[in-house]
Structure 1
Amino acid sequence: MFRHLLVAVDGSALAEAAFRKALEFAQETQASITALRACPDFHVTTYHTEMLTDTREQFEEAVLEDASKYLDGIAREAAAAGVPCDTSSVVDDHPYDAIIKAAEENDCDLIVMASHGRRGVKALLIGSETLKVLTHSKIPVLVYR
């Protein structure tokens, strides 16, 4: 059975639901969790106008600070459930790659993540990190929808 789960979280309601299901699964199987928040990198051209006033360093510092606060809550929830949980955050232009690398580096044997189910033009424009993880990962992936 799976002993160490990497749970990719992004702060969305769906990702939080996937985390809670992974937490239940970890409780039942006595597995541990590594919760990862893979944050997008800084871009000069972006649809998030607030990014335009920051420097790359300011942006990364703010993003990682926000991720740390968010992951502290995730860790508290896991501790309350009696599940060992490490947390990690990374800024990367390719979140799917960061997720796979983190799973490999932490010797995780299952990746758990949500799928937002984007289709059509939205899927083409935004892309599916879940699909990319499924396509590129050698580690099993459990998708929550």
Structure 2
Amino acid sequence: MYKHILVPVDGSDLSTKSFREGVELAKAIGARVTAVSVVIASHAPRGAGTAMLGKHVLEDAAEEYLKGVAAIAREAGVAVETFYVVGDSPHEEIIAAAKARGCDLICMGSHGRSLLAGLFLGNEAASVITGCRIPVLIIR
């Protein structure tokens, strides 16, 4: 059975729900959980935004959110690790994180859009499913 579950989180209600589901699964099967947040480099403030908000505003927000996510796992008695990565392609970063950390399952949320709609709406879950060989559990 699975020993190490990667759960990508982005601060949305759906990703928090996915994380809770991943934690419950991990608890039931004796696995550990790793939460990853992908900070999109192109969304970082530039110029006056950097001066006003600080250089690492998105990274700081990711770290703060990940602290709350880790507390959920600890409360459930599940071993947890959290980290964020900065990149331009969330699905590529998620796949790379799963491989680098030795995860044997990815548990992530999806809004339930069809693959065709996902092509136009940037469905990261569909891209993860088609881009890796690690099993993916989709939470809706």
TM class by shorter-chain length? 0.7 to 0.9
Runs of 4+ in 1 over 3 A off after TM superposition: 50-55, 118-126
| Deviation by residue 1:18-53 (Cα, 9 ceiling, x = unmatched) | 111111100000100000011222259xxxxx6674
Instruction: Name the counterpart of 2:129.
Output: 134
Which structure 2 segments of 5+ residues have no match? none
**Alpha-carbon separation, structure 1, partners of 2:118 and 2:137:** 20
Aligned Cα root-mean-square deviation (Å): 2.4
Instruction: Name the counterpart of 2:111.
Output: 116
- Alignment coverage as a number of residue pairs: 138
**Alpha-carbon separation, structure 2, partners of 1:96 and 1:110:** 14
**Alpha-carbon separation, structure 1, partners of 2:112 and 2:54:** 28
Secondary structure of 1:2's counterpart equals coil
| Deviation by residue 1:111-130 (Cα, 9 ceiling, x = unmatched) | 01000234699744431100
Which structure 1 segments of 5+ residues have no match? 45-49
Q: State the TM-score, normalizing by the size of structure 2.
A: 0.88
**Alpha-carbon separation, structure 1, partners of 2:40 and 2:122:** 13
Q: Which of 70, 75, 84 lines up with 1:80 in the alignment?
A: 75
Confirm whether residue 99 of structure 1 aligns to residue 94 of structure 2.
yes
- Is the 1:14–1:114 contact (alpha carbons within 8 Å) kept by the matching residues of 2? yes
C-alpha displacement of 1:54: 3.2
Q: State the TM-score, normalizing by the size of structure 1.
A: 0.85
